[in-house]
Amino acid sequence: MSRPVVGIIGNMNLLNDSYPVHAGGTMNSAAVAQVAGCLPLLIPTDPRLVGVAELLEVCDGFLLTGGRPNVHPEEYGEEPTEAHGAFDRCRDAITLPLVRACVERGQPFLGVCRGFQEVNVAMGGTLHPEIRDLPGRMNHRMPPEGTLEEKFALRHAVRFTPDGPFRQLFGAEEVMTNTLHGQGIKSAGSRIVIDGWAPDDTPEALYVQGAPGFTLSVQWHPEWNAAEDPASRQLFQAFGAAAGAWQAGRAAASPHLKSA
């Protein structure tokens, strides 16, 4: 049987500041292929081009990637302001119903940064437009200068609940992570369980309570150096195993797929 297919949520971008493209970071594809052991498939997140139902049939799991545009505040009942930054309404139109469908079906997804926020919004939660403006919060944004190694360097610890899934997965009460985000969770959505926090109590890890499938999502970027960083490797390997289990279950339900 071929590798499980993981749909990587793409982002709208401009090549050479003029040519519209659907883009995905190479580190996302590498983490999916080399660490999760799955076939990476870049998804053009535009409802004029793809539909949620067909994505669910084609893919065995989804990587909800980070991205510079933020979830539009109208999706969680707030008016947009300059602090909310740029938006990608086409991505919102695909990812938010996709998350809800995956939760219902038990189809696995891994949320990363914006993807972490999308999971919360999809389940009815809200977001702060700018974490660093809140009293007592640190600046979680990407450093403006430096190499990629410096920008994605480990910058703070994330602590987990003692009996939660992240503590069980990592075998540690806390791990060191990078941090490259401006927004963050304000209120948790229905069934959203916050399972990890930064030192300033910013939510950093979550899962969907009672979901039959893999729903672990993180505010940091584990795709960076995923093969070498122990926590990142464990997270992507667990996600890959979940996608493989979904593929096997689909094959068992449709015997003609077993020889595909």
pLDDT in tens, 93-129: 999 999 999 999 999 999 999 999 999 999 999 999 9
Q: Kindly report, residue by residue over 58-87, the tens digit of the pLDDT.
A: 999 999 999 888 999 999 999 888 888 889
CATH value at residue 241: 3.40.50.880
Q: What does residue 44 show for φ and ψ, rounded to 5 degrees?
A: -80, 105
pLDDT for position 260: 45
Residue 223 bears catalytic tag? yes
Buried b (16+ CB within 10 A) or exposed e, 29-63: bbbbeebbbbbbbbbbbbeeebebeebbeebbbbb
Instruction: Report residue 110 as tokens.
Output: 């891994």
pLDDT for position 259: 44
Cα separation, 41 vs 60, whole angstroms: 11
Residue type at 182?
Answer: G
Cα separation, 8 vs 40, whole angstroms: 7
CA distances from 203 to 6, 100, 115, 153, 188 (A): 26, 21, 14, 19, 9
The catalytic residue among 72, 128, 181, 221 is 221
pLDDT for position 77: 94
Do β-strands 217-218 and 203-208 pair in parallel, antiparallel, or remain unpaired? antiparallel
60, 8 in Cβ contact below 8 A?
A: no
* Mean pLDDT in consecutive groups of 10 residues from the start of the chain, 260 residues: 94 90 94 98 96 98 94 93 88 98 98 98 96 92 90 95 97 96 96 97 98 98 97 98 97 67
Residues 51, 61, 161, 181, CA torsion sign: negative
pLDDT for position 257: 55
* DSSP-derived 3-state class of residue 6: strand
Residue 221 bears catalytic tag? yes
* DSSP-derived 3-state class of residue 111: strand
pTM value is 0.95
Instruction: Report residue 132 as tokens.
Output: 């660093």
Number of domains the chain is built from: 1
Q: Any idea of the CA torsion for 226, 236, 89, 52, to the nearest 10 degrees? A: 150
Q: Which domain holds residue 89?
A: 5-257
Cα separation, 173 vs 227, whole angstroms: 21
Residue 79 bears catalytic tag? no
The catalytic residue among 38, 102, 113, 140 is 113
The catalytic residue among 75, 118, 130, 223 is 223
Cα separation, 231 vs 172, whole angstroms: 9
